[in-house]
Structure 1
């Protein structure tokens, strides 16, 4: 059980590199051969194909046509509003079918090639004459085919974000139709920025900050983020809209098509989450097989010695390409940019899907194995309450001991389906599950003076967990006079069990220094069990009903909904008896309003609540392990969105309130964890994305948040700034394709965060920080195949800084890191 640095698990690193190189060469040959034999010319527009497209809303008919024919259908979303289609059943050419679908709509079509069709209104040609005598026609701005509830929404101009995102029970919603602030980051951005985990993706979002990174940290909850000043853990991330089954600790985003960030509480939309999504939620959408075959091989290097490879293979089969399969494999191993630290990550995912005329179904499965040696502590750094916060240590210097480690193995699967009863009503459902085994031998460091002297407390923590998540529902569309309705009735159930050993915390302690850490002998864990006892069971059933009402050709949208949620938690003693139990119910309503006074403008407002399991008293407190009742937040928000055609700007104001927790000292000098008072976050956010001009893209924004404590015990801290909530956060990224060099892209990004308080008394504070990242991409061909070469530097100036605060514990930023990758499509 004791894992020494020189043991077989560590030796796997050198063997793994050799196996990886050999596998890379062998697999390349196999995949190239598979690509040659499996790919073929796509059907031309004149080839006859069998279609089954029911009558109904025009947008749904066009979406079905796109799926069944493998055609990209582009049109302005507004021109399909309120229009119906007679549908089509039978065998015909694409042109015959599209003509039939548009009957009575007053719209026309034109094929730009065999796989792309543009739908427009017929109109007189308005033109002016340019100086060279040519005619300048009116600009036509188009969107991808109508957003549906099954496929990931198409990309927006520039390709970095999507035109829509999944809003939980509301399904896929256009950004302009959403009464919330949401951003959906695409696989194009993930690839081009060489993102490894979700933490790398949300570095583009001004409303999000990262507390712990799953690759470098031993955090038991894995990656931890702050959205609008409130924590969201990796275990609260949704997979394709399903909560509770996320892989433990981290999600390799190279296997994902989208990373969607919804800002604000979301109990109605996504339901109960165990570890926190009171300030927002994150949903990841797995990759699916595309109409075009994919055979992609990636080789990568991350400083100071991590080598990696990825294989991405996808195909569609059947007369209408109904069946799809997508396989991804990832392996990285080697030293990180932190001295003495190394990490290994292995991932395999399989995505199967079927897309018929009335039935769509999918199965996603994955396995993740991750291990880090000399990781940063789970809670980072704590400080004695009466000392000034010392300067941050050198980010690249080893502070933690070489014998420390953190690792996890996770398997997950999710099966989903939806079936069209008719053109207006659809039933849907799904079930998923995950299981993981986590093990840590790590330390938390408490700094006791400004010179960086500290006490390191070691803990050994084996954790096993299992989860099951299921949903079933029906949604439909109908009208009552001039009012349109989109109804969704959903039932869901979440079961989670956790096995955890809490007796191994603090079994060993030693003196250290954050600027010059001594080498300390590894403590013995002889006699510690790898099979921890049951710690808790959670049962969380729910029923949700929503209705989105629309009038004036969907220029006014009003969403109302309510969720009934039960949370039943049993906490066990080591002997299996129940030590704590609660069975709570909550009714969480939500309202959202969207007004479109102009074609490109949306005004929105919402009221929504958040719900999560109550906090657990931290290890090291006198009431460690105590589970508190569920916590709720409330949000009111209003905003404006304007789409300039290829560039969009949004602005919002919000207020979120939630109960707050604190660690205090009792009369006996013991640390006590309690829920005490309320935290109120008020803020303003401005976001931009898209193409400013041809070849010039902008992504990011500014967030101002004022976190304030209210209703604290004896009003002691009322009016003080909330712990870990910076007033200002700025993320600005720019991409430029210089015209003189075809295929070249240059990009840069700035992340800036203002100072943050460490304690509720506001006597301790970490300073503001700024980080710069730079990168480049060059697309070319090699051996007749597309090749993309990418290079990036994160934290260009190698700044060492305190990055974020979580309940009084502080994490550090990562040192300067170089990334290089080569991607070839076969």
Structure 2
């Protein structure tokens, strides 16, 4: 059941309001709705009931062909009248969703789990079938149904992505971090509505987001420079906006072993044409997690204001996040003990870290955007955003020394404060040269980031421990430690981008060519404020993409694109720890095919990505040296599936095969070896079923499988493959006259203990069996 409030208005506008409210795909011709007005639709009802109510008295009928797909038809003959024999001659119908614009989030595809399009950076919103890349946009409906809390919960649906650390339970300073196509992508690189550097630090609560979009592959042309890792892909989160139908939604939740949560979601539109919108979200969670001794607290408040006029559209997003985890889970370090085999994973529900350890952050952000139509074909746009974050971590790095799980725990205290400012402006337009159509976009952007970080508090105390049976150790003293860290670095990154998407043969061939000029200026400071390192580099990154549509519903695509990110920092434990290396660039070539069966889509792609790789060597004195030396080449094949196979049965997921190979290493030492942390096989298969024998009931299941991964470049250490099963159910009903959805889920049903992911010699643990319950009521 959905609560509707769609006033009587021109039928075409009413249908589009229905699409935005429900996420349905509704196809219609302009002739079928021309000159007609809709009936008002108000109250709680199913989407199908609302559509029939909306069409009442118009002479137009709806042919519903799937769970969320329909076509509008008018019963007319060639001269506009019903046939005398009662037979109906129908207009030819091209079933297409509402056109995807550059302002609103694209509507949902059949089944409601993914959207029909996504934002490809400065190219704007593009239909999945028109995009020369592999991109998936997960919807707010999926996030509600799966009771997702952060981005880490959402990407668990994607076979090309693996979670390295989960910010809600991890002590890692980067918070949520992922591997896409075998390369690291950190939370700092997540985009907020297409803008870099603005998304909340460490943890991004997806309950306040309309969609989470994942673009596989490098994306320098599309998104420009990002601080920590976008070489294998990019993640963009889109904030919620007020819908035409009012929203007053309350959700209460429980996550084992004792974490309770509440969310309030309120949205309204105002004005004669509902041009003004407000959306408010509040989230609070607190309590114990499924790991013994661990607890987590999360408080979120967001406000989204928007205006949609005839020629002007504008928005303002403001958010504040306060998150803290006690006894957070860290990573096990094996990179300094390469002579031992990786021991079995510990009991995931057992406490390994000390009671005095914690990781927390406070983030505040704001983002203002606008676009103005100079004419029907040309639009100017722009925006600016700002983020402030304050992070404090007292935790330990555990270095495992033998197969019995004995280890050394090295404590560190890390106060970090950061500020980012991001701005864009540009103009886009459409024109034709002969029979060739052009969509051009000229974009100028600027990203500034400053980071205050105390690096002298690492390793201030150490103690012996064991990953299977950790002792209790008294809390260390922080006397004399400052919570006002010195300036660590400043980053200035201006860019200028030009792209043109050319259309041939009535849109059957789309060719995109573009180039970005990017400057990256980094100053690294000593504690006394003097500059210890500095570089000022420029890069020109081109990209090309082509989409060919040989038949209806099929797209064949190919692309060449490059990636660009800040150079790595030599990590703790090496003789040159803290050294900042120059920017890193990657290159990708990719080809694929997509086929839309109407309510179900399958895509397949092959790719190759090459990037400079880091390596740790030992010098003559026995010291470990971090350097960028050699190349990593990832070649892969991906198969993705989403949508409704048949009415009431939905599939989501796929399979990814990746060969990560080291080449051009120092003296050929590791040439041909498998790259660290790149599993050959990854598979995610999710299924949802609406059994007909119980109205409103949905049963779901998901399998996540990952093959073994090497821990070191010599390929002497390896974590085994792992397999996880999740189960869930939801029941839609009405209570006290209001729609109510009850949900229950179990993640890691078999309570399997496993090492989940690898990065630079560090190995993270998986998640223990976790129970989730929630109830959502719309008022």
Taking structure 2 as the reference length, the TM-score comes to: 0.92
Specify whether residues 479 and 703 from structure 1 end up closer, same or farther in structure 2 by C-alpha distance, changes over 3 A only: same
Q: Which residue of 1 aligns with 2:600?
A: 647
Q: Which residue of 2 aligns with 1:568?
A: 521
Q: Conserved in 1, the CA contact under 8 Å of 2:23 and 2:108?
A: no
Q: Which residue of 2 aligns with 1:623?
A: 576
C-alpha separation between the residues in 2 aligned to 1:323 and 1:68? 18
Specify whether residues 598 and 714 from structure 1 end up closer, same or farther in structure 2 by C-alpha distance, changes over 3 A only: same
C-alpha displacement of 1:668? 1.8
Q: Which residue of 2 aligns with 1:43?
A: 7
Q: Conserved in 1, the CA contact under 8 Å of 2:76 and 2:88?
A: no
Deviation string 1:707-752 (CA, Å, 9 cap, x unpaired) is 0000000000000000000000000000000001000000000000
Q: Secondary structure of 2:767's partner?
A: coil
> Which runs of structure 2 are paired with 1:156-555 in the superposition (5 Å)?
156-377=109-330, 384-555=337-508
Task: Give the RMSD, CA atoms, in angstroms.
Answer: 2.8
C-alpha separation between the residues in 2 aligned to 1:716 and 1:186? 46
C-alpha separation between the residues in 1 aligned to 2:735 and 2:18? 34
Q: Conserved in 2, the CA contact under 8 Å of 1:162 and 1:184?
A: yes
Q: Conserved in 2, the CA contact under 8 Å of 1:340 and 1:374?
A: yes
C-alpha separation between the residues in 2 aligned to 1:680 and 1:454? 33
Q: Which residue of 1 aligns with 2:617?
A: 664
Specify whether residues 40 and 175 from structure 1 end up closer, same or farther in structure 2 by C-alpha distance, changes over 3 A only: closer
Q: Which residue of 1 aligns with 2:632?
A: 679
Q: Secondary structure of 1:195's partner?
A: coil
C-alpha separation between the residues in 2 aligned to 1:499 and 1:543? 28
Q: Which residue of 1 aligns with 2:51?
A: none
C-alpha displacement of 1:620? 2.0
Q: Is 1:582 matched with 2:582? A: no
C-alpha separation between the residues in 1 aligned to 2:20 and 2:689? 32
Q: Which residue of 2 aligns with 1:756?
A: 709
Q: Which residue of 1 aligns with 2:697?
A: 744
Q: Conserved in 1, the CA contact under 8 Å of 2:720 and 2:755?
A: yes
Specify whether residues 70 and 45 from structure 1 end up closer, same or farther in structure 2 by C-alpha distance, changes over 3 A only: farther
Q: Secondary structure of 2:573's partner?
A: coil
Q: Secondary structure of 2:329's partner?
A: coil
Q: Conserved in 1, the CA contact under 8 Å of 2:616 and 2:624?
A: yes
C-alpha separation between the residues in 2 aligned to 1:816 and 1:325? 38
Specify whether residues 762 and 45 from structure 1 end up closer, same or farther in structure 2 by C-alpha distance, changes over 3 A only: same
C-alpha separation between the residues in 2 aligned to 1:489 and 1:44? 40
Specify whether residues 215 and 70 from structure 1 end up closer, same or farther in structure 2 by C-alpha distance, changes over 3 A only: closer
Q: Is 1:769 matched with 2:722? A: yes
Q: Conserved in 2, the CA contact under 8 Å of 1:236 and 1:276?
A: yes
Deviation string 1:596-655 (CA, Å, 9 cap, x unpaired) is 001110000000000000001112211111110000000000000000000000000000
Q: Conserved in 2, the CA contact under 8 Å of 1:213 and 1:224?
A: yes
Q: Secondary structure of 1:200's partner?
A: helix
Q: Which residue of 1 aligns with 2:45?
A: none
C-alpha displacement of 1:143? 3.6
C-alpha displacement of 1:142? 3.4
C-alpha separation between the residues in 1 aligned to 2:23 and 2:392? 49
Q: Which residue of 1 aligns with 2:54?
A: none
Q: Which residue of 1 aligns with 2:47?
A: none
Q: Conserved in 2, the CA contact under 8 Å of 1:477 and 1:487?
A: yes
C-alpha separation between the residues in 1 aligned to 2:10 and 2:555? 40
Q: Which residue of 2 aligns with 1:11?
A: none
Q: Conserved in 2, the CA contact under 8 Å of 1:72 and 1:145?
A: no
C-alpha separation between the residues in 1 aligned to 2:212 and 2:456? 37
Q: Conserved in 2, the CA contact under 8 Å of 1:470 and 1:492?
A: yes
C-alpha displacement of 1:689? 0.3
Deviation string 1:685-723 (CA, Å, 9 cap, x unpaired) is 000000000000000000000000000000000000000
Q: Which of 766, 769, 772 is 1:816 aligned to? A: 769
C-alpha separation between the residues in 2 aligned to 1:76 and 1:526? 65
Q: Conserved in 2, the CA contact under 8 Å of 1:381 and 1:811?
A: no
Deviation string 1:150-196 (CA, Å, 9 cap, x unpaired) is 00001000000000000001100000000000000000000000000
C-alpha displacement of 1:208? 0.1
Taking structure 1 as the reference length, the TM-score comes to: 0.87
C-alpha separation between the residues in 1 aligned to 2:123 and 2:74? 29
Specify whether residues 587 and 479 from structure 1 end up closer, same or farther in structure 2 by C-alpha distance, changes over 3 A only: same
Q: Secondary structure of 1:220's partner?
A: coil
Once the two structures are overlaid, the 10-residue window that deviates more, 116-125 or 294-303, is 116-125
What count of residue pairs does the alignment treat as equivalent?
747
Q: Conserved in 2, the CA contact under 8 Å of 1:67 and 1:355?
A: no
C-alpha separation between the residues in 2 aligned to 1:503 and 1:510? 19
Structure 2, gaps ≥5 residues long: 40-57, 64-68, 79-86
Q: Conserved in 2, the CA contact under 8 Å of 1:75 and 1:120?
A: no
Q: Which residue of 2 aligns with 1:722?
A: 675
Q: Secondary structure of 2:658's partner?
A: strand
Q: Secondary structure of 2:501's partner?
A: strand
Q: Conserved in 2, the CA contact under 8 Å of 1:311 and 1:329?
A: yes
Q: Conserved in 2, the CA contact under 8 Å of 1:485 and 1:548?
A: yes
Q: Conserved in 2, the CA contact under 8 Å of 1:248 and 1:410?
A: yes
Deviation string 1:271-309 (CA, Å, 9 cap, x unpaired) is 100001000000000000000000000110000000000
Specify whether residues 78 and 633 from structure 1 end up closer, same or farther in structure 2 by C-alpha distance, changes over 3 A only: farther
Q: Secondary structure of 2:635's partner?
A: strand
C-alpha displacement of 1:67? 6.9
Q: Conserved in 1, the CA contact under 8 Å of 2:73 and 2:91?
A: no
Q: Which residue of 1 aligns with 2:586?
A: 633
Specify whether residues 679 and 548 from structure 1 end up closer, same or farther in structure 2 by C-alpha distance, changes over 3 A only: same
C-alpha displacement of 1:148? 0.4
C-alpha separation between the residues in 1 aligned to 2:89 and 2:745? 40
C-alpha separation between the residues in 2 aligned to 1:660 and 1:575? 32
C-alpha displacement of 1:589? 0.2
C-alpha displacement of 1:664? 2.4
Specify whether residues 109 and 700 from structure 1 end up closer, same or farther in structure 2 by C-alpha distance, changes over 3 A only: farther
Specify whether residues 677 and 232 from structure 1 end up closer, same or farther in structure 2 by C-alpha distance, changes over 3 A only: same
Q: Secondary structure of 1:176's partner?
A: helix
C-alpha displacement of 1:41? 5.3
